[in-house]
Amino acid sequence: MPAKTRAFGTDAARNPLAPMEIVRREPGPTDVELEILFCGVCHSDIHQARNEWRNTVYPCVPGHEIVGKVTRVGARVGKVRVGDHAAVGCMVDSCRTCPSCQAGLEQYCHNWATFTYNSPDKHLGGHTFGGYSTQVVVDEAFTLRVPEGLDLAATAPLLCAGITTYSPLRHWKAGPGKKVGVVGLGGLGHLGVRFARAFGAHVVLFTTSESKVADGLRLGAHEVVVSRDKAAMARHAASCDLVLDCVSAQHDINEYLALVKLDGTLCLVGLPEHPLAVQPFSVVLPRRSLAGSGIGGIAETQEMLEFCARHGIVSDIELIPMRQVNEAWERMLRQDVRYRFVIDMASMRG
């Protein structure tokens, strides 16, 4: 029988998050049930709950950076066992048959992946609910193992912010001999810097804030440039093999395209609410590419978690109880967090 689960969500774009009950399905033969221990707070949660992308279905329970403890498994589950620590990211299913799914790129499913929240629920009808809740049931094919040694709370943001930055760095072969620019030192950017450094690239952080220079260097950047300094920006013109744009606010993308060398790439991973204006000459000369990248497939996300365990990479977090989530959202919009909020789900139990 489906079970009621405690959650935090909203029933309208203008309403704050508040306690509610949702229904989770009974685990089937290939399902994994998790008691959610920690859930990261992503900027996408705000976009979605406030209907800024114009596609939200209510009630909306956000959260797609989930780390938990396995409480039940179906008879055919072999990936994890009861008592293991496991994780769920941005997807809980896909068609599994299209060319993208067959290539391990479920995030680009031709028939649309089933996202962790705000997607049609194939099992119960209605739509999916996310990790701002006490438990979740997910098919083992979309469940991830958490390697030993990783701090569980600080691992949660890796399930979205981590894979969102890891995947393009891997795809465009960041490594020794390559210069990688990272634009913005926030929830995405601070992990982008860490990954680019761990891949062996020369890393330059571009930030609008002088107060983040020291943090950028601490996180692994070889150089930090305050982007308001036009002379400093000019010194890096046409020099980067890859620029990872992690900014979710409106900004002039052309000044960052100017950093990209011949046949280099600027990859968007931040998601501003409104379209960015691109000047044609910013890409025509000198033959630059403007690209985007969305999270990663399940196999690549598991690979990323193993990479993090080997290199000691987790997110810088501020742990909060669920009752502070609305305040945390407002602080996030003011960029008043270094660098990711994570909800302690123990605050919803007891």
Domains of the chain: 3-160+296-348 (3.90.180.10), 161-292 (3.40.50.720)
Write the DSSP string, 142-190.
Answer: G-EEPPTTS-HHHHGGGGTHHHHHHHHHHHTT--TT-EEEEE--STTHH
The whole-number pLDDT of residue 350 equals: 63
Chain Cα centroid distance, residue 182 = 16
Asked if 83 and 71 touch (Cβ cutoff 8 Å), the reply is no
The whole-number pLDDT of residue 3 equals: 87
- Beta-carbon contacts of residue 117 (< 8 Å; ≥ 6 apart): 48, 60, 61, 62, 63, 64, 127, 128, 129, 130, 131
pTM: 0.95
The whole-number pLDDT of residue 274 equals: 85
Q: Which residues of the chain register pLDDT less than 70?
A: 1, 350
Half-sphere exposure of 75 (CA within 13 A, CB side): 1
The whole-number pLDDT of residue 248 equals: 86
The whole-number pLDDT of residue 271 equals: 87
Measured at the CA of 271, the angle between CA 102 and CA 159, to 5 degrees, comes to 50
The whole-number pLDDT of residue 87 equals: 98
User: Which pLDDT tens digit goes with each residue over 211-243?
Assistant: 999 999 999 999 999 999 999 999 999 999 999
Percent composition of the chain: helix, strand, coil (DSSP 3-state, to 5): 30, 30, 45
d(C-alpha 156, C-alpha 235), whole Å: 37
- End-to-end CA separation in angstroms for the chain: 24
The whole-number pLDDT of residue 273 equals: 78
The whole-number pLDDT of residue 4 equals: 94
Residue recorded with tokens 């900014």: 247
45 three-class SS: helix
Compute φ and ψ for 135, nearest 5 degrees: -155, 165
